[in-house]
């Protein structure tokens, strides 16, 4: 069961490990990212942030999709963390059972992004992908930590260009 599906460009760090893991009563964290499984330094730093007693899995996007669709993850109270809106879109678009909610926690600012909410920077492509997810019935919300107010992202918050 997916307890939290979160976009956070920092992946697993103290804020996620302390605030979110306990708040959603997860027992397994899936880091879905194409670079992390091949990068020993990033893997080591993510392992250091892992809450004690939790299971931590780091897989590519495609392998994560396979695991989610196979049912092997069904026995866990799962917290999925991806680095970007594009990664979330890639996974959710191919999932047999879509999550009810996508949590936006932090995305990088670039020259091609605009601020959607504090710490949430979106490109035109991100906005298209978020709109598609909203149209598929996925609730998109911005919430930095589990105790902060939730901002629900609506279609009219996103550019239609």
> What are the structural domains of the chain?
2-157 (3.40.35.10)
CA 78 to chain centre: 11
The pTM score is 0.95
Q: What pLDDT is recorded for position 156?
A: 82
pLDDT per residue as tens digits for the range 8-64:
999 998 878 878 998 999 999 999 999 999 999 999 999 999 998 899 999 999 999
Give CA torsion, residues 35, 40, 44, 47, to 10 deg: 50
pLDDT per residue as tens digits for the range 63-108:
999 999 999 999 999 999 999 999 999 999 999 999 999 999 999 9
From the CB of residue 135, how many other CB atoms can be counted at a distance below 10 Å? 9
Show the CA angle centred on residue 24, arms to residues 79 and 66, nearest 5°.
20
């Amino acid at each position: 069961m997916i307890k939290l599906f979160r976009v956070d460009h920092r992946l697993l760090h103290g804020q996620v490990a302390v605030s979110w893991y306990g708040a959603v009563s997860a027992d397994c964290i899936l880091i879905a990212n194409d670079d992390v499984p091949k990068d020993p330094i990033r893997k080591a730093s993510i392992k250091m942030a892992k809450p004690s007693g939790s299971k931590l899995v780091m897989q590519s996007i495609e392998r994560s999709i396979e695991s989610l669709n196979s049912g092997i993850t069904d026995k866990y109270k799962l917290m999925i963390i991806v680095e970007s809106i594009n990664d979330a879109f890639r996974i959710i678009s191919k999932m047999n059972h879509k999550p009810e909610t996508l949590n936006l926690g932090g995305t990088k600012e670039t020259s091609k992004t605009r601020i959607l909410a504090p710490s949430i920077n979106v490109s035109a492509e991100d906005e298209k992908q978020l709109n598609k997810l909203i149209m598929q019935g996925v609730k998109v919300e911005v919430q930095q930590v589990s105790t902060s107010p939730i901002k629900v992202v609506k279609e009219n918050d996103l550019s239609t260009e």
